[in-house]
Amino acid sequence: MLDASIATFIVDKIQSLPSGLVYTVVAFLVFGEAALFIGFVLPGETSVIIAGVVASQGRVNIVALCVLVVVAAILGDSVGYFVGQRWGARLLEMKLFQRRREDVDRAIEGLRRRGPFYVFLGRFTAFLRAVMPGLAGLSRMQYGRFLIANASGAIAWGVAFSLLGYFAGTALTKIEKYASWAGIAVLVVLVAVIVTIYFVRRGRDLERERGPR
């Protein structure tokens, strides 16, 4: 797995890139989550949020960013689906998957029980976002059903996280211009609380999926 400091370096660099490269890097990271299994190293939502902040600074267009993220997610997951359909059994033998075999098995069971709905939900969890398309292909889910569920999830996820970064960046800019440092502190605390609640809920969801051990 990529060292955390390297992942942080990549995210930090996004903020200093020219606008054209911001689009390119974010599209590659989102596309590669399932197509190249980059999601095991760097969740795509991190780069999407950072790009949303960059959009709030006027350096990239938020509408173009949303469209790009959604398209990259759909295309990347489609590639992941066909990779899983063709080489899924071999991929599961790799150490990358063997280390998390229990999680993979639970994902396969969830996919078997919930089908396309589980594909949609998987878009909002980093691990499932990386493996779900390949597992859907491996399980021989009909591509049309997968595509509808995956595209729906990609639209909701891509737009939501792009706007999350955009509005967070816009709010910070306004506070820096019109308010005191106390106001900035309040905003930071508020964002921290929201993020904490989000990850706590996501952790609980994962625990429910895993079931009793």
In the chain, where are the structural domains located?
A: 4-210
- pLDDT score of 15 more than 50: yes
Q: For residues 154 and 32, what is the distance between their CA atoms, to the nearest angstrom?
A: 14
Percent of the chain whose pLDDT exceeds 70: 73
Q: What per-residue confidence (pLDDT) applies to 36?
A: 79
Average pLDDT value for the chain: 78
Q: Please tell me which residue, 211 or 15, carries the higher pLDDT value.
A: 15
Q: For residues 138 and 132, what is the distance between their CA atoms, to the nearest angstrom?
A: 10
Whether the pTM exceeds 0.85: the reply is no
- pLDDT score of 3 more than 50: no
The residue to which tokens 């173009």 are assigned: 64
Q: What per-residue confidence (pLDDT) applies to 167?
A: 86
Closest CA to 38 of 8, 76, 66: 76
| Whole-Å CA distances, 145 to 15, 75, 119, 141, 142 | 37, 15, 10, 7, 6
Q: What per-residue confidence (pLDDT) applies to 175?
A: 44
> For 161-202, how does the pLDDT look when each residue is reduced to its tens digit (9 = 90+)?
999 888 887 765 554 454 445 444 555 666 666 666 666 666
Q: What's the average model confidence in pLDDT over 96-118?
A: 79
Contact by Cβ (8 Å): 123, 160: no
Q: For residues 116 and 155, what is the distance between their CA atoms, to the nearest angstrom?
A: 15
Closest CA to 205 of 124, 97, 120: 124
Q: What per-residue confidence (pLDDT) applies to 209?
A: 58
Q: For residues 149 and 88, what is the distance between their CA atoms, to the nearest angstrom?
A: 20
Q: What per-residue confidence (pLDDT) applies to 65?
A: 95
Q: What per-residue confidence (pLDDT) applies to 63?
A: 96
Q: What's the average model confidence in pLDDT over 124-132?
A: 84
Q: What's the average model confidence in pLDDT over 98-112?
A: 79
Burial 168-203 (b: 16+ CB within 10 A, else e): bbbebeebeeeeeeeeeeebeeeeeeeeeeeeeeee
